[in-house]
Amino acid sequence: MQAVQREIAEQLNVQPPFADNAALIAEVARRVAFIQDCLVNSGLKTLVLGISGGVDSLTAGLLAQRAIRELRERSGDDSYKFIAVRLPYETQFDEHDAQASVDFIDPDERHTVNIGPAVKALANEVAAFEGKHAVSVDFVLGNTKARMRMVAQYTIAGAAHGLVIGTDHAAEAVMGFFTKFGDGACDLAPLSGLVKNQVRSIARHFGAPESLVEKIPTADLEDLSPGKPDEASHGVTYAEIDAFLHGKPVRDEAFKIICDTYRKTEHKRVLPFAP
């Protein structure tokens, strides 16, 4: 079992557990520098990130804002900026958490794009939905929401001449828990290789409120299951996924679920097929 865990962890470039606080601080600095290098090498000066209210976008936003602030201080160029974007579908049930996240990050700019009208307009034009069960339609439109959010972020980034930040990390990557060409699409993914608990630890390092750090993760994409916890979709807990990726013992059932899901979602982690 450990050989399989090790192979998957290597493929996802999983980072080892933080040995101590100094290791955590060093990792934060490395990822901030990564963001800065990506932006400087692109010749652009703006970062764009959608803020959902969950700990992943909160942590990515905190890293991004620090990267931008340090770039301004180091270069003396005030044109560097970070734009945090709210992307609700009509009225988001946990909007207070999303606003609290944006407030704590304190970005240079705040934008809001309600994706509801666009998603509904598209759904009304899709003849393929005719005769389909409501649950099936709801699931498909959940992915459409994720893709529409990325369309909005790239539209803002295009107008602002910037790069789009993604929030994918190892604990989501192993489960394929992202929408292909939706939240899986971005210019840089500063949380890549981290497990969920490490993402939370970085948020705590920044002093984020515990209510946001330990908030129950939810993609919240399905109208018929609002606020559905990620772990209910996974069939395993994030603690088990983290343990798996760090080579620790897990239940036989959890091991099987993670391995089967990893294989089934391989297409999400590779480039499009080509001849």
**215-262 residue pLDDT tens:** 999 999 999 998 999 999 999 999 999 999 999 999 999 999 999 999
Cβ contacts of residue 261 below 8 Å, gap of 6+?
A: 174, 175, 176, 234
Q: What is the pLDDT of residue 1?
A: 84
Q: Which of 27, 97, 172, 183 is catalytic?
A: 172
The 10 Å CB-count burial string (b at 16+, else e) for 195-221 is bbbbbbbbbbbbebbeebbebebbbbb
**Cα angle value 16/189/98 (rounded, 5°):** 100
Catalytic residue among 27, 56, 183, 230: 56
State residue 93's pLDDT score.
Answer: 86
181: helix, strand or coil: coil
Residue 84, helix vs strand vs coil: strand
The whole-chain average pLDDT of the chain stands at: 97
Q: In percent, how much of the chain has pLDDT > 70? A: 100
Apex CA 200: angle with CA 66 and CA 147, to 5°? 75
pLDDT at 92: 86
Q: 67 with 28: CB under 8 angstroms?
A: no
- Kindly report, residue by residue over 34-65, the tens digit of the pLDDT: 999 999 999 999 999 999 999 999 999 999 99
Torsion, CA 41, CA 44, CA 49, CA 55, rounded to 10: 40
All structural domains of the chain = 17-229 (3.40.50.620)
Give mean pLDDT, residues 10-21.
98
Indicate the residue type of 68.
Answer: I
Q: Is 56 a catalytic residue?
A: yes
pLDDT tens-digit profile of 107-146? 999 999 999 999 999 999 999 999 999 999 999 999 999 9
In 10 A of CB 142, how many CB atoms?
Answer: 21
Mean pLDDT score, 167-192: 97
Please report, for residues 57, 133, 144, 153, 190, the alpha-carbon distance to residue 118 in angstroms, rounded to integers and kept in the order given: 23, 22, 10, 14, 29
Give pTM, 2 decimals: 0.96
What confidence tier does 193 reach under pLDDT thresholds 50, 70, 90? very high
- Report the pLDDT averaged over residues 79-104: 95
Task: Tell me which residue has tokens 């865990």.
Answer: 5
State residue 107's pLDDT score: 98
Query: Span 195-219, mean pLDDT?
Result: 97
Place of tokens 């990620």: 230
How confident is the model over 80-104, as a mean pLDDT? 95
**Over residues 189-200, mean pLDDT:** 98
CB proximity list for 189: less than 8 A, separation 6 or greater: 165, 166, 167, 168, 169
Instruction: Report the alpha-carbon distance of residue 219 to residue 227 in Å, rounded.
Output: 7
